[in-house]
Amino acid sequence: MLEVYLVRHGETQWNAERRIQGQSDSPLTAKGEQQACQVAQRAKTLGITHVITSDLGRTQQTARIIAEACGCDIILEPRLRELDMGVLEKRHVDSLTEEEEGWRRTLVNGTKEGRIPEGESMQELSVRVHGALAECLNLPAGSRPLLVSHGIALGCLVSTILGLPAWAERRLRLRNCSISRIDHQESPWLASGWVVEMAGDISHLDAPALDELQR
């Protein structure tokens, strides 16, 4: 069985300001750095052998802290990037027009072909994050990788492993520096392949963490 841990990056300046990030970037806040240190201490107890991260700045910042605690180098994987949110990136969520908010809602309300103009669909996101996950199956026997990615990207990955379509209504909350685990296994009582062991655990954090735009 292969165990793969999934970590969302720490709180960023734009998370705190309620700005839409997508594949644009803002640095971790002091709280985000603290969250990364706390999830790193938990990761240190898990026997992590590889830290694989989205190449965006906020995930690399988080991954470096985790990798140092685990004694690993970081491996950059662009397919773990957040959903491309097109023309709405960098915008404050409260500044959106009714039309723009409608575009954003198509990403979470079950609209099959939903996307923000110049951005990605959830199905396109699903294809690339599953491609990154599949690479873990090529790691040496006994490996225990940890992937550092983003809220929508990881939510899409976990939800589709559970059998939902990529564009299903979004009902999985993954807060900053939450940790999830998926296993690749064979079992007489579960479907073969990837299964979800846990999702969105924040028991290692000593203060509440944010959802993407939550205050």
DSSP state letter for 170: P
- Among all chains, which residue has been given the structure tokens 């990529």? 166
DSSP state letter for 112: T
Relative orientation angle of helices 30-43 and 57-70, to the nearest 10 degrees: 40
What are the Cα distances from residue 197, in Å, to 1, 32, 82, 113, 162?
12, 25, 23, 30, 11
Catalytic residue among 3, 11, 77, 82: 82
150 is catalytic: no
DSSP state letter for 19: B
- Amino acid found at 114: G
- Among all chains, which residue has been given the structure tokens 């929508």? 152
The DSSP element (H or E) to which 17 belongs, if any, is: helix 13-17
9 is catalytic: yes
The DSSP element (H or E) to which 200 belongs, if any, is: strand 193-201
- Residue 163: is it exposed, middle or buried by C-beta count within 10 angstroms (0-12/13-18/19+)? exposed
- Known catalytic residues are 9, 82
